[in-house]
Amino acid sequence: MYDLSVIGAGWAGFNACLKAKKAGLKVCLIEAAQIGGTCLNRGCIPTKALVQSAKIYSLVKKSSTFGIELDNPRINFGSIRKRQEKIVGELARGMQAGLSGIDLIASRARIISSNNIKVDGKEIETKSILVATGSRPVELPGFKFDSVKVINSDQALLLEEVPRSLLIIGGGFIGCEFACLFSTLGSQVSIAEKMPHLLPGMDKEVAKKIEVIFKKKGIKVNTDTDVSTLDLNNYAKVLVCVGRAPDTFGLGLEDVGVKTEKNRVIVNDYLETSIPNIYAAGDCASPVMLAHYAAYQGRMAVENMVNNRSHKADNPVIPSCIFTDPEIACVGMDEEKAHACGLEVNVNRFDFLGSGMARIIDETEGFIKIISDRSSGEMLGASIIGPKATELIALLTVAISARLKVSRIRETIFAHPTLSESIHEAI
């Protein structure tokens, strides 16, 4: 009998296994597809590998700005894809090595009782179960995925050539990343978003800024748009990015009494389901579908199994990153949410145009925006659009998690010339 059986080898399941192994539990990990789940195989890693190639191409094209003359740079998309696959493969092997001592079962799983799982035609016994099966792309009515004309974000990573023209339906995180990526690589890109602006839920000033930047890049941005009015014949490919849904089909959750809502597993603050020894973590159980949050939940679920509800998985300080060019990142409250909570806030900002390092690297588009409580001075949130935003947000995440006051950052000495000193300049 296993102490813990984890279903799903994505970021939640993988980190749960490492935590459980460290605690001395006998663990098995059940995965029907690849180790690493969406993040490693169809999400974070392969997309960012493509983004980096696009970034290098963009830099090469403007090399004369830095006094370097390079003639006729061109894209070898086949080589770009090979590099992408190499990175994914190397990381997968690293994850596989990290799972030594854990029984890996390559099979689909079906839970048949609170202590029994059917895998590969047999049953295994277990004291606890963690469901960590992740999510899948949502299909939009009238736009059925056919892997040829209409594709999802998973299928976009399998393209063998850069599409001549691309319509992206959905202007959220995923849609904006792909828009920037394929535009840089040479596609004629259009985005259709039903909301009044791109990146719904993001700071509105940031959303407006990226829209302006996209238009400068030649990306056609159509907001307040009913996609049913669009003629798909005008595009070589149609990429649908309207969100992701929990992937729990076929697990048998309802049969054993695990409560779900629209396929999402319902959990309490300790990541327990309606069955006491069955837990769930990551995209299948959380409305926050981010790999780093899934990893956090996976670890917290095991912590609560081992130490009897010792930690609530309720950390609200979750950074979000979008790998557009320029990058976007945020953490905590934005200005609108703070006002909705009835808070009186101060808003401090700094434009990268005033940063020495931003000028040195020739990336001056964007700004840092920091929200703090007016009475206490405590930092509540931050939004960044600009160079290395996805790295800079870590410092602000620590500051907000530690409930630091703006005055504490003002008193801190930042190195010069750096991008990080822009945080000091902002306040």
Same domain, 303 and 329: no
First-residue to last-residue Cα distance in the chain: 56
**Which residues are identified as catalytic?**
416
**Confidence (pLDDT) at 309:** 84
Quick check: is 295 in a domain? yes
What CATH number is attached to the domain comprising 57? 3.50.50.60
Same domain, 117 and 20: yes
Quick check: is 172 in a domain? yes
**Confidence (pLDDT) at 121:** 87
Write the CB contacts of 143 (distance below 8 Å, at least 6 apart in sequence): 150, 169, 227, 238, 240
State the burial class of residue 149 (Cβ atoms within 10 Å of its Cβ: 0-12, 13-18, 19+): middle
Query: Last residue of a domain, which of 199, 225, 242?
Result: 242
Same domain, 234 and 261: no
What is d(CA 338, CA 165) in angstroms, rounded to the nearest whole number?
40
- The pTM for the full model equals 0.95
Same domain, 169 and 26: no
**Confidence (pLDDT) at 142:** 87
Same domain, 33 and 166: no
Same domain, 250 and 234: no
Amino acid at 20: A
180: domain range?
150-242
Our measurement of the distance from residue 295's CA atom to the centroid of its chain's CA atoms, rounded to an integer in Å, reads 12
Quick check: is 314 in a domain? no
Query: Last residue of a domain, which of 242, 263, 291?
Result: 242
Quick check: is 78 in a domain? yes
Determine which helix (DSSP H) or strand (DSSP E) holds 208, and give its type and residue range.
Answer: helix 204-216
What CATH number is attached to the domain comprising 381? 3.30.390.30
Same domain, 126 and 249: yes
Same domain, 267 and 390: no
**Confidence (pLDDT) at 412:** 95
Same domain, 198 and 300: no
Same domain, 94 and 214: no
Quick check: is 31 in a domain? yes
**Confidence (pLDDT) at 310:** 80
The conformation of residue 155, written as its DSSP 8-state character, comes to H
**Confidence (pLDDT) at 347:** 97
State the residue for tokens 């056609």: 220
Same domain, 250 and 371: no
Number of domains within the chain: 3
What is d(CA 327, CA 186) in angstroms, rounded to the nearest whole number?
19
State the residue for tokens 């985005």: 191
Long-range contacts of 276-280 (CB under 8 A, 24+ apart): 276/114, 277/114, 277/115, 277/127, 277/128, 277/129, 278/111, 278/114, 278/128, 278/129, 278/130, 278/131, 279/128, 279/129, 279/130, 279/131, 279/304, 279/305, 280/130, 280/131, 280/132
Query: Last residue of a domain, which of 218, 242, 266?
Result: 242
Quick check: is 176 in a domain? yes
Quick check: is 199 in a domain? yes
Spans of the chain below 70 pLDDT: none
Do 411 and 354 contact (CB within 8 A), yes or no?
A: no
**Confidence (pLDDT) at 71:** 87
Quick check: is 358 in a domain? yes
Same domain, 170 and 263: no
